[in-house]
């Protein structure tokens, strides 16, 4: 129920708009690297100092106007320039919908081409984040077109989809991030049971480690991480064939520990004012993340449920206020 609750909140455009006005006051400041490029570069430098690389996501939701998509493109281009100028160990993660996929395919492709072209000039990798099932096919189409021109692109395979293995094999020669999946998908397209998703997730990781180009293993689950460690050791898979990935602000000690152990590690670094949808999906993914919200809102370690309820209550009040104004 909690997952459905937060997934519902993540898709509420009124709350998304209202949340921007409150900045990062509802606890999101702990999982968002900053609201500016300068703040984000500083966060990346801190990660690099510990031997951790970064993939940078310019946050954005509900983009249905060309002007907004163009602004997102320009911001990402600035991030690429900043990565190059500051010589930090980082690459780009982006969502096609933020760059116009829901507006016009050709327009989105043009925006993506400009980003990938500049990144390619600087030797910077660009990862195409995958979203809900409705955007899966066109996102893969965009990747296919751009990969004919550039070699610095890769994408994400979501383990809860039935077709994940098929897509993994098709894109085995790409750098791939393998995730469990963060959206609420119907049973027609995706596994619903956590055990089934976890089983398929590990199956995909092992297959790509043995057959793929480079594998980014994105998980906070220490059990899966330990399974991967055992698998790579048993199969003599070198460390330069894979990396672990976690989200900025989550399991910091484990991130540092894995880097110290000599594993390649990359932190997913989101930034910007449009943090709401991203933050709600993080709450939906793992109930443990609710503790983080309570600590940030109240700066206490107790009464987690009250903390979450207070945040949800405030968002609900914002929504009611908006509805009254509309009347």
Note the helical H segments in the chain.
Answer: 2-10, 13-21, 37-48, 66-86, 105-121, 136-147, 164-170, 194-211, 222-234, 252-260, 276-285, 289-298, 304-326
* Cβ neighbour number for residue 302 with a 10 Å cutoff: 9
Are the CB atoms for 98 and 58 separated by under 8 Å? yes
Are the CB atoms for 276 and 59 separated by under 8 Å? no
Q: Please tell me which residue in 57, 102, 175, 177 is annotated as part of the active site.
A: 177
Check if 177 is active-site: yes
Are the CB atoms for 98 and 49 separated by under 8 Å? no
DSSP assignment of 265-308: EEEEEEESS--HHHHHHHHHH-TTHHHHHHHHHHS-SS-HHHHH
Cα separation, 243 vs 266, whole angstroms = 7
Cα separation, 8 vs 274, whole angstroms = 17
Check if 132 is active-site: no
Q: Please tell me which residue in 57, 102, 129, 274 is annotated as part of the active site.
A: 129
Cite the active site residues: 129, 177
């Amino acid at each position: 129920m909690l997952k459905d609750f937060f997934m519902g909140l993540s898709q509420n455009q009124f709350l998304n708009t209202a949340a921007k006005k409150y900045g990062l006051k509802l606890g999101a400041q702990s999982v968002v690297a900053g609201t500016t490029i300068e703040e984000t570069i500083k966060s990346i430098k801190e990660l690099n100092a510990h031997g951790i690389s970064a993939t940078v996501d310019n946050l954005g939701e509900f983009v249905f106007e060309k002007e907004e998509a163009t602004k997102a493109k320009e911001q990402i281009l600035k991030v690429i320039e900043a990565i190059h100028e500051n010589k930090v160990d980082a690459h780009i993660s982006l969502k096609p919908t933020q760059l116009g996929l829901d507006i016009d395919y050709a327009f989105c492709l043009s925006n993506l081409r400009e980003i990938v072209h500049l990144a390619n000039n600087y030797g910077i990798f660009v990862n195409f984040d995958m979203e809900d099932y409705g955007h899966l096919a066109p996102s893969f189409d965009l990747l296919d077109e751009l990969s004919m021109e550039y070699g610095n692109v890769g994408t994400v395979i979501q383990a809860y989809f039935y077709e994940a293995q098929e897509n993994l094999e098709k894109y085995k020669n790409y750098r791939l991030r393998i995730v469990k999946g963060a959206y609420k998908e119907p049973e027609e397209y995706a596994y619903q049971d956590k055990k089934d998703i976890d089983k398929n997730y590990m199956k995909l990781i092992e297959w790509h480690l043995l057959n793929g180009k480079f594998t980014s293993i994105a998980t906070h689950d220490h059990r899966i991480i330990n399974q991967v460690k055992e698998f790579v050791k048993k199969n003599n898979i070198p460390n330069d064939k894979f990396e672990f990935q976690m989200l900025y602000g989550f399991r910091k000690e484990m991130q540092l520990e894995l880097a110290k152990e000599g594993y390649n590690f990359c932190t997913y670094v989101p930034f910007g004012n449009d943090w709401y949808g991203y933050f709600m999906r993080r709450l939906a993914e793992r109930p443990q993340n609710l503790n983080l919200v309570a600590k940030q809102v109240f700066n206490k370690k107790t009464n987690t449920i009250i903390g979450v309820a207070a945040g949800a209550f405030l968002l609900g009040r914002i929504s009611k206020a908006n509805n009254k104004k509309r009347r």
